[in-house]
Chain A
């Protein structure tokens, strides 16, 4: 059969959207959160541009915000026909059921799984393994050692990332969303070593997250990191905000989001996919 495995097939580009209340937000280094706008507008733009999946992370995850999160999910699911993963503050199987009922296709869990690993098994039994994404926040502690964190990289757990990754697979996770706490928001590139090691250790797909600043970083994490998918936020958010202002025009939001210290370049989804195709990393829409 004619099929070259030198070409990486079926790789996925996922847009990550951090949600607070009814807004899409972005953490800016040393400055805290900035409101970027209505998440449904961003989601619609990404969908039309050919994004493969969406991830919504409720980053505050307070009980009071739940209704607005469910509204955002419901609205998205009515118009956008690609997989939607929702995470952030899902503590129980019932919390998961509620976001799935609102229209999410998969749930991402981190803290709940660390505190009670059996919840992975329980959730996989209720909703199917393919519905359960375990989010792992990894912080480097030495050259070859990483520790799992919870609470957006704020709280340590003492759990070894590589052992944890294998354990979540055994418990029935369908995918791993792997975020490098050290690289997140820096624009300096993915932690390719981390991604490669986890991807080699587990049989299920690994989604790389944290650190992308340009298209070259994305290519690198696919080719050298063996990532099955990547999760990107700022690169696309900046592109959307720029497009909203008209091509090439200065952007009102840009100055505070993308100051002169920022290493993050904006890029459109089709441009990224074309670049990846040239690197023999094939995504949807670029395989013909």
Chain B
């Protein structure tokens, strides 16, 4: 029988899995990089990372049957942490190079970032760099009420995280939106939560101390569930 581990990082051939694994290690989580269904099922938490194109990622997930495994994970109510493209894959569909079906775990779509503001100013896309995540309804200072009990609990409102992306998610039900970010003149959903599914457009594993606070919270959640 395979040893049960804290975290299974889903390896479907895309993305820098090693930085995710290093961040897990830093907060004391044992994380394996795997594409094996039984290992994913046995883990306490599943991380779906991803860098690259939406269609390629979906093709890789469906051809390996990992799309079904992720669906089962969600039905089981297990913690699923999705990063960057991983979060976009949760949506119903994407408009990246045509229309592509997503995992459809959260209703919504993936749209391109606008490269031109309403005022006609050109904006660089991809959006690369550090940018604040915030709860639009909360005060500027401290951690918003909405974030209590979530992975963002210890993060300050407007704390900068590292982003690299050209597309953003637009969930249909705005209640899943935990945090938003402004780039150019557009405001997009940068962190979402739906039950035990948590998605970040930013890369907490590349966001220095601020990002590690999210991993720390994840570790606490897993330890609590394992206890």
Interface residues of A (CB under 8 A from B): 1, 3, 5, 9-12, 47, 50, 52, 77-78, 81-83, 100-103, 105, 125, 127-131, 174-175, 203-205, 228-229, 283-285, 287-288
Contact = CB atoms under 8 A, between A and B. Distances in A.
Interface in B179-218: 182-185, 187, 205-209, 211-212
15 contacts: A5-B117, A10-B127, A52-B129, A77-B19, A77-B22, A78-B22, A81-B212, A105-B206, A131-B16, A131-B51, A174-B126, A174-B164, A204-B124, A205-B126, A284-B160
Nearest to A51: B208
B164 A10 contact: no
Nearest to B140: A288
B60 interface: no
Contacts of B165: 130
B187 A11 contact: no
Nearest to B124: A205
A130 B25 CA distance: 25
B206 A81 contact: yes
Nearest to A76: B22
Contacts of A285: 160
Nearest to B211: A81
Contact of B119 (A5, A52, A129, A284): A5
A5 B121 contact: yes
Contacts of B130: 10, 12, 52, 283-284
Interface of B: 14-16, 18-19, 22-23, 25-26, 51-53, 56, 85, 115, 117, 119, 121, 124-132, 140, 158, 160, 162, 164-165, 182-185, 187, 205-209, 211-212
B206 A287 contact: no
A175 B125 CA distance: 10
Given A47-B208, A203-B115, A174 B185 contact: no
Contacts of A125: 56
A228 B184 CA distance: 13
A127 B206 contact: no
A125 B53 CA distance: 8
A228 B124 CA distance: 8
B33 to A, nearest CB: 10
Given A1-B187, A81-B205, 14 more contacts: A10-B131, A47-B208, A52-B129, A78-B22, A81-B22, A81-B23, A82-B206, A103-B18, A105-B19, A129-B52, A203-B124, A228-B124, A229-B129, A284-B129
A81 B184 CA distance: 26
A11 B52 contact: no
A1 B56 CA distance: 36
B129 A228 contact: yes
Given A81-B26, A128-B53, A100 B16 contact: yes
